[in-house]
Amino acid sequence: MLKGRHAEYLDFIRLTMVEDQVVRRGVKDARVLAALRKVKRHLFVPAGLVSTAYDDHPLPIDCGQTISQPYIVGLMSELLCLKGGEKVLEIGTGCGYQTAVLAELAAEVYTVEFFAGLSRQAAEKTAKLGYTNIRFKTGDGAAGWAENGPYDAIIVTCAPATVPPALTAQLKPGGRLAIPLGPEPQELKLFTKTAAGLDERNVCAVRFVPMLRAKD
């Protein structure tokens, strides 16, 4: 009975999180909000941090990485303008929470993680939750995942100094790239690929872990 009450409490605070942290800050995409209400963030954080899973800040996970602040997950997901039929590339799988949100929003999700252990854990968690539209790879995120491109949208959850050329090459014309750039605090930018190149939009200041490269 206690477990049932605890699950009900977590459901309540997840819904409250969406309203207080995401909707009130201006995220309006109904599909994104529905995904955030559905995906149980507490299943993706370390066991000792479950009680803070829906707090308004990032949390540490294994390998010195983090799970992003709920609002940032919502904001970056909304920036991609996903309608349901897209192929999306994620750079920085982490614990798999953003991955699961993307799986709710797109037809196919390809996700690349630098740390093999994190990739394996995320694959196990999302499989247990019934997601069948996610493919996982361990490797250098700056190289993307060319064999499955081009992609309708790319989301990067770690911060390189500049946009990796491989990612823009793997983006379809009209595709959108959401990426934090520069030293901390970074600038979250949205790029849209056009016939003339990349249209750039500054979104907001953010804090992400740096992008790791194979040589690091």
Give the residue numbers marked as catalytic: 68
Mention every residue, 6+ apart, whose C-beta is less than 8 A from residue 38: 104
The interaxial angle of helices 97-105 and 30-38, nearest 10 deg, is 130
Residue whose structure tokens are 């990426």: 179
Q: Report whether 144 contacts 170 (CB < 8 A).
A: yes
Distance between first and last Cα of the chain: 49
Measured distance CA(49)–CA(29) in Å, rounded: 28
Q: What share of the chain is helix, strand, coil (3-state, %, to 5)?
A: 40, 25, 35
Which amino acid belongs to residue 151?
Y
Report residue 91 as tokens. 């750079």
Tell me the sheet residues that pair with 89: 110, 154
